[in-house]
Amino acid sequence: IMKIAAAALIAALAATQSTAFTPSKSIISTSTMLSSTMQPPERTAPDAGYTPDWEGRTGLTPKEFIASDMSKPDLSGMWECPLTRWDSENIDIAEAQKICAEQPHCPLEMTATAEDNAKGAAYFSENREQIRADLLKYGAIWFRGFDLMKSVAGNREMHEALELDPCLDPLHSSGLRKFASERDALYEEVNKPSLRQHYIGLHNESTAKRTAAYAAFVCFQRATEGGGRFLVADGAAILAELKTETLEKLYNRQIRISVSNLDIPPTLPGAVKEGIKGLVDVAVAPKFDMDLEMIYESDGKPGRLQAVETAESPINRHPVTGLPVWFSNSHNHARKLRDRRPCGVPEVGMTEVFYADTMKPLDLEDCEEIKRASEKHITALSMEPGDVLLVDNYRALHGRDVFQGDRFHAVTWFTWDQNEAWRGDERRIVEKNAFNQAINQMMDWLPKDFESNQS
């Protein structure tokens, strides 16, 4: 039972927002109907508001781009991911929408000139203050055509020149986050062949408990056979776009997110089911550094045990600017949206979003409004070798489209480098790393192009 429970949570957490990085194969085979319909819904590729053209730039070979600069200090003892900063009380929805509608387009696009490239890392140190200010203003900056970041070593030079301070991924302790270069604090993105056909919806790299302050997503190799666009959208633009009545409903009722399904035979005696629930709650859930409650049958399926996060607001004020923004992983996690787009997550890893006051799944109308407003403001980036998307993780949401062939993108997360109180004094807990490595080895055994068949 413990092995089943552990596998369930491991697989599930990989599919969430903050779990956008690698679901595992289910050890329990199930087939469920979407509660909102008697027929499996049609799967269609989501939309994007802006789709820039590819430029055809080339990169380095894998051996060349993955090499670390061994003269640099080892960053593996980086900061723990900071605690989530919530400031969501007493927000005037209509006024917040007016303010958000006035914000500039996200992301800001900055294309390198020959002179910029000749400067290397000096370009970023010379322009540090302006870049950091623009990041707060726009929510994300897309650096295009920079030769410096075509390698792991150069990418590190870039963020060191900006004086950004690396931290762990919010879910590092779960074992779901694989390093591309541990000594450079660089995580691999969702590049695994088993997840090529899984669309990752918009999310902040956040749980109710922990949230990275910033991120730098880098492309070393674009998808060799097509697709794989990186998605970004402004949380302010989404908040301004959503229907006011929908926002008020979700804000007043709040939401809870389920990150795991563990299907227990419903005919088991109640005492046995409660015993299983207790084992998972005490022995497995703490490994994930999330505040989870184990609840039976929230989505209506008999015998289903779900790990559910605490209640949270879908709107939050930005910690630095105070701007109210859409700060919710609902576009990625809502079951009714996942069941209607390409999905490579087995049933054990399927997520759900509930109204916190009733623990009923979001209705289809609200899900469709979240989809409409979110996808209208997606920029589906054509990231090529050397491109970096610098993200304010409290302002902008990110995701990834499906792809074919091989792809190598990576990401470094950053803590609050200018506020020690917000950063905290926790460093990486190294003894958790064996669990991390073991789970990632298991992920590598998954079949290519795994397809979800739970609809």
Confidence of residue 3 (pLDDT cuts 50, 70, 90): very low
Instruction: Assess whether pLDDT exceeds 90 at residue 11.
Output: no
Instruction: Please report the pLDDT score of residue 437 as a whole number.
Output: 53
Instruction: Please report the pLDDT score of residue 446 as a whole number.
Output: 47
- What whole-number distance in Å separates Cα of residue 279 and Cα of residue 9? 13
Instruction: Please report the pLDDT score of residue 290 as a whole number.
Output: 83
Report cis status (omega within 30 of 0) of the bond before 269.
no
Instruction: Assess whether pLDDT exceeds 50 at residue 453.
Output: no
Kindly list the distances between the CA atom of residue 228 and the CA atoms of 140, 192, 222, 411, in Å, as whole numbers in the listed order. Answer: 19, 12, 7, 15
Instruction: Assess whether pLDDT exceeds 60 at residue 109.
Output: yes
Q: Are 333 and 201 in contact (CB under 8 A)?
A: yes
Instruction: Assess whether pLDDT exceeds 90 at residue 125.
Output: yes
Other CB atoms within a 10 A radius of the CB of residue 268 amount to 13
Kindly list the distances between the CA atom of residue 72 and the CA atoms of 47, 141, 157, 185, 420, in Å, as whole numbers in the listed order. Answer: 42, 26, 10, 12, 24
Instruction: Please report the pLDDT score of residue 19 as a whole number.
Output: 39
pLDDT in tens, 330-366: 999 999 999 999 998 788 778 999 999 999 999 999 9
Distance between the two ends of the chain, CA-based, in angstroms?
A: 26
- What whole-number distance in Å separates Cα of residue 196 and Cα of residue 181? 22
- What whole-number distance in Å separates Cα of residue 169 and Cα of residue 53? 31
Instruction: Please report the pLDDT score of residue 1 as a whole number.
Output: 43
pLDDT in tens, 22-59: 333 332 333 333 344 457 788 998 999 999 999 999 99
- What whole-number distance in Å separates Cα of residue 46 and Cα of residue 199? 9
Burial 380-411 (b: 16+ CB within 10 A, else e): bbbbbbbbbbbbbbbbbbbbbbbbeeebbbbb
In this prediction, residues 300-309 reach a mean pLDDT of 92
Mean pLDDT of the chain: 87
Instruction: Please report the pLDDT score of residue 284 as a whole number.
Output: 67
* pTM (2 d.p.): 0.88
- What whole-number distance in Å separates Cα of residue 318 and Cα of residue 322? 5
190, burial (CB in 10 Å: exposed 0-12, middle 13-18, buried 19+): buried
Instruction: Assess whether pLDDT exceeds 50 at residue 282.
Output: yes
Cβ partners under 8 Å of residue 308, min gap 6 = 256, 257, 258, 259, 292, 293, 294, 295, 298, 354, 359
In 222-320, the DSSP E strands lie at: 230-234, 255-263, 292-296, 304-309, 315-317
Other CB atoms within a 10 A radius of the CB of residue 126 amount to 13
pLDDT in tens, 139-182: 999 999 999 999 999 999 999 999 999 999 998 866 667 899 99
Q: In 201-268, where does DSSP find H-type helix?
A: 235-241, 244-253
How far out from the chain centre does Cα 62 lie? 25
- What whole-number distance in Å separates Cα of residue 300 and Cα of residue 310? 19
pLDDT in tens, 52-104: 999 999 999 999 999 999 999 999 999 999 999 999 999 999 999 999 999 99
